[in-house]
């Protein structure tokens, strides 16, 4: 994850104060809490020092969509923060210690084998020096040396086997921890769906497949979600998002992928699915969301029914990932503009 490295933030007091005021104005205008993470993103946007971050926010504003805390948290994680990787670095440090311990054990085993070889060679030399007139005590001394050397070699081997078994167990534990960290870095904590980082990898992989293979994308946006948050509070707003995520999860197959794309936006990747099949999946999601009836357990309060709008785009041979997502986005906003709670097919190339 790249930290901010595009330009140095060497601002004098007056310039920094001006940027700070503009940053707070941006956050307040969009009702985004001025946390340190959100402020850092707003400041970089105001300063214009990170082109990709600024382009992402500008594109969001130009499309008529409001900014939200989810977007700012995502931008902070993608372009500013490096903390999510500290756990992975810790795993790497443990793995290095494990490798060093194993190397030491192997080195000790090698030294023990070499010592056994020298003792064996010396004992055999003593045997060669003995003749028929040698007494039993001399022969016994040679045999004792061989037995001692063999016992020492066996002990070294037993120790190595124990160390290797311990190393194997620790390796398995580290592998599990690393896999857990990797998965956590690709999941949205609220819904358990994939996050934007995972989407990038998944979509790149699917786009690399032969362009003749069917691939469709759904964009899902909860209608009037800001009103839900403002009326019922963020706790119920989060419950709405989780339930919509569950609906999407239940409507897709094993090869399909669901992503939390924005605060109240979702994206579904449908490999091996043409336009007709994708439209059916989208309609199924829309109707199930419309049928949701959420009740708050502590007081049996029933939330008013809500809906979602969807856009569908199926890959054309000339599509790039950007053009495919853009057509799905255009279709989504056609659904919004057409009255919401509907599915629109984006089957024409975006202008």
Q: Which of 81, 112, 134 is the last residue of a domain?
A: 81
Helical (H) or strand (E) element with 30? none
Beta bridge partners of 258: 268
Contact assessment for residue 279 and residue 286, using Cβ atoms and an 8 Å cutoff: no
Domain-located, residue 8: no
Q: Are residues 209 and 316 in the same domain?
A: yes
Residue 10 buriedness (CB in 10 A; 0-12 / 13-18 / 19+): exposed
Domain-located, residue 143: yes
Q: Are residues 318 and 223 in the same domain?
A: yes
Domain-located, residue 2: no
Domain-located, residue 115: yes
Distance from C-alpha of 325 to C-alpha of 23, rounded to nearest angstrom: 29
Contact assessment for residue 222 and residue 261, using Cβ atoms and an 8 Å cutoff: no
Predicted pLDDT at 4: 42
Chain centre distance of CA 121:
58
Q: Are residues 213 and 304 in the same domain?
A: yes
The CATH number for 289's domain is 3.30.70.270
Domain-located, residue 166: yes
Q: Are residues 340 and 206 in the same domain?
A: yes
Q: Are residues 142 and 178 in the same domain?
A: yes
Q: Are residues 255 and 324 in the same domain?
A: yes
Predicted pLDDT at 215: 94
Q: How many domains does the chain have?
A: 3
Predicted pLDDT at 208: 84
Residue span of the structural domain in which 286 resides: 196-345
Predicted pLDDT at 14: 79
Residue 263 buriedness (CB in 10 A; 0-12 / 13-18 / 19+): buried
Q: Are residues 231 and 329 in the same domain?
A: yes
Q: Which of 54, 81, 108 is the last residue of a domain?
A: 81
Catalytic site positions:
264
Q: Are residues 174 and 259 in the same domain?
A: no
Q: Which of 132, 163, 185 is the last residue of a domain?
A: 185
Q: Are residues 286 and 201 in the same domain?
A: yes
Distances (CA, A) of 162 to 106, 157, 192: 12, 9, 40
Q: Which residues of 279-313 are buried (b: 16+ CB within 10 A; e: fewer)?
A: bebbebbbebbeebebeeeeeeeebeebebbbbbb
Predicted pLDDT at 200: 84
Q: Which residue is associated with the tokens 């070499």?
A: 114
Helical (H) or strand (E) element with 267? strand 265-271
The pTM of the full predicted model, rounded to 2 decimals, is 0.60
Distance from C-alpha of 113 to C-alpha of 110, rounded to nearest angstrom: 5
Domain-located, residue 94: yes
Domain-located, residue 190: no
Q: Are residues 172 and 242 in the same domain?
A: no
Domain-located, residue 351: no
Contact assessment for residue 43 and residue 80, using Cβ atoms and an 8 Å cutoff: no
Q: Are residues 48 and 102 in the same domain?
A: no
Question: pLDDT (tens digit, 0 to 9) for every residue of the chain, 351 residues total?
Answer: 344 444 456 667 778 888 888 888 888 888 888 888 888 898 899 988 888 899 889 988 887 777 888 888 888 877 776 544 444 445 555 555 555 565 555 555 555 555 655 565 565 555 555 555 555 566 566 566 666 666 676 666 667 667 666 766 666 666 666 666 666 678 888 899 999 888 888 888 888 877 678 999 999 999 999 999 888 888 899 999 999 999 999 999 989 999 999 889 999 999 999 999 999 999 999 999 999 999 988 888 899 999 999 999 999 988 998 999 999 999 999 999 999 999 999 875 544
Distance from C-alpha of 189 to C-alpha of 4, rounded to nearest angstrom: 24
Angle at CA of residue 26, ends 22 and 29, nearest 5°: 130
């Amino acid at each position: 994850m790249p930290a901010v490295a595009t330009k140095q933030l060497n601002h004098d007091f007056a310039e920094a104060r001006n940027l700070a005021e503009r940053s707070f104005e941006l956050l307040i205008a969009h009702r985004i809490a001025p946390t340190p993470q959100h402020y850092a993103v707003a400041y970089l946007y105001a300063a214009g020092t990170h082109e990709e971050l600024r382009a992402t926010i500008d594109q969001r504003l130009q499309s008529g969509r409001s900014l939200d805390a989810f977007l700012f948290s995502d931008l902070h994680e993608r372009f500013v923060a490096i903390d999510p990787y500290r756990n992975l670095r810790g795993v790497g440090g443990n793995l290095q210690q494990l490798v060093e311990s194993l190397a030491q054990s192997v080195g000790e085993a090698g030294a023990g084998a070499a010592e056994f070889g020298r003792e064996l060679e010396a004992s055999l030399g003593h045997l060669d020096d003995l003749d028929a007139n040698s007494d039993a005590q001399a022969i016994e001394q040679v045999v004792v040396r061989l037995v001692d050397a063999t016992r020492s070699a066996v002990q070294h081997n037993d120790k190595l086997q124990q160390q290797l078994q311990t190393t194997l167990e620790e390796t398995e534990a580290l592998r599990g921890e690393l896999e857990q960290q990797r998965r956590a870095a690709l999941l949205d904590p609220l819904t358990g769906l994939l996050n934007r980082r995972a989407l990038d990898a998944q979509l790149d992989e699917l786009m690399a497949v032969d362009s003749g293979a069917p691939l469709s994308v759904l964009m899902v946006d909860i209608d009037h979600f800001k009103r839900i948050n403002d009326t019922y509070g963020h706790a119920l707003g989060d419950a709405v998002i989780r339930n919509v995520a569950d609906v999407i999860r239940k409507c897709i197959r094993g090869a399909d992928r669901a992503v939390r794309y924005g605060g109240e936006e979702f994206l579904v990747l449908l490999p091996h699915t043409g336009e007709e099949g994708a439209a059916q999946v989208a309609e199924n999601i829309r109707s199930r969301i419309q049928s949701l009836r959420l009740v708050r357990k502590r007081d049996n309060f029933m939330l008013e029914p809500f809906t979602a709008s969807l856009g569908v785009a199926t890959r054309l041979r000339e599509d790039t990932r950007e053009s495919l997502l853009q057509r799905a986005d255009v279709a989504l906003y056609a659904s919004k503009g057409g009255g919401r709670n509907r599915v629109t097919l984006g089957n024409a190339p975006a202008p």
